[in-house]
Amino acid sequence: MTVELDALAAGRRAGFARPIARRLGELARQPILVASWLVVLVVIGWAVVPGLFTSYGPYTGDASASFLPPSAEHWFGTDRLGRDLFARSVYGAQTTLTATLLAVLIAFGVGTLVGLIAGFAGGIVDTAVMRVIDVFLAIPSLLLAMVVVSVLGYSTQNIALAVGISSIASFARVMRAQVLSVVTQDYVKAAYGLGVGRLGVMLRHVVPNSLSSVIALAALEIGTAVLAVASLGFLGYGAPPPQPEWGLLVAEGRDYVAVHPWASILPGAALAVVVIATHRISTSYRKDHRR
């Protein structure tokens, strides 16, 4: 009996290890995807423990070290106040990523709820909600976010709220489409036939089977939200100086780009690499989801 149990346990371990080995093999054949994950993990480390990646502070400057070029001591060079630009980029990750995650959570939560109500209720409710969503989709998301920030005031929190509001419509449309597809399935009709109420059908069957596409969209929206938050910061709608924020770092160096190009180009390149990496990961997730 003990031998049989040991054999059964070994078989389960082998069965659990096979998908992991297969996934690792797929990753080994996709070096760009591996590099993208490494970039994202490093940036998360910047946001969580920035002191591990740089010995300089984001606000400490030295007037005699103004606009030093990139070197082993200052990887991204220094700005006009002699502050280390790499350190400011590292500490700025916390500000930008916090706003990004908050924006995606707002868009995901509100958009999913709106799409669920529209698709499940149907009729005049669906028509009214989707006309409002169409209005939001007709307005460029960055312009809508700028209007919201102008009303609420300039701050990182308000940028997150603005970017989240501007992305609600996309989540609502995807969730509504999934709900309309799920409610026509046989298992939903069978649940109604067994006497399950509308609320029970929605919570037990419709919501769990509609979320996968919305989650895939959320993964894709992370890179878009990073770019939107940085764009608003670049335009002056975000965190006020001297707080480090990726868009603000690019904006601070733009007036000197002809003479000291690293002051704007290197923080901008770091931002671009992060956005490209998140999009590559989200694209991989969406492909896996469609299989």
| CATH classification at residue 21 | 1.10.3720.10
Split at pLDDT 50, 70, 90, the class of 24 is low
Instruction: Tell me how many domains the chain contains.
Output: 1
Is pLDDT at 20 greater than 70 in this prediction? no
pLDDT in tens, 160-216: 999 999 999 999 999 999 999 988 888 888 888 888 888 888 888 888 888 888 988
C-alpha angle 279/287/178, rounded to 5°?
A: 100
pLDDT in tens, 35-72: 999 999 999 999 999 999 999 999 988 888 899 999 99
Distances (CA, A) of 150 to 146, 158, 235, 236, 238: 6, 9, 12, 11, 11
pTM above 0.85, yes or no: no
Is pLDDT at 21 greater than 80 in this prediction? no
Give me the pLDDT at residue 47, please.
Answer: 92
Q: Which residues span the domain enclosing 194?
A: 2-59+66-290
DSSP 204: I
What is the SS3 assignment for 78? strand
Identity of the residue numbered 194: L
C-alpha angle 46/52/54, rounded to 5°?
A: 80
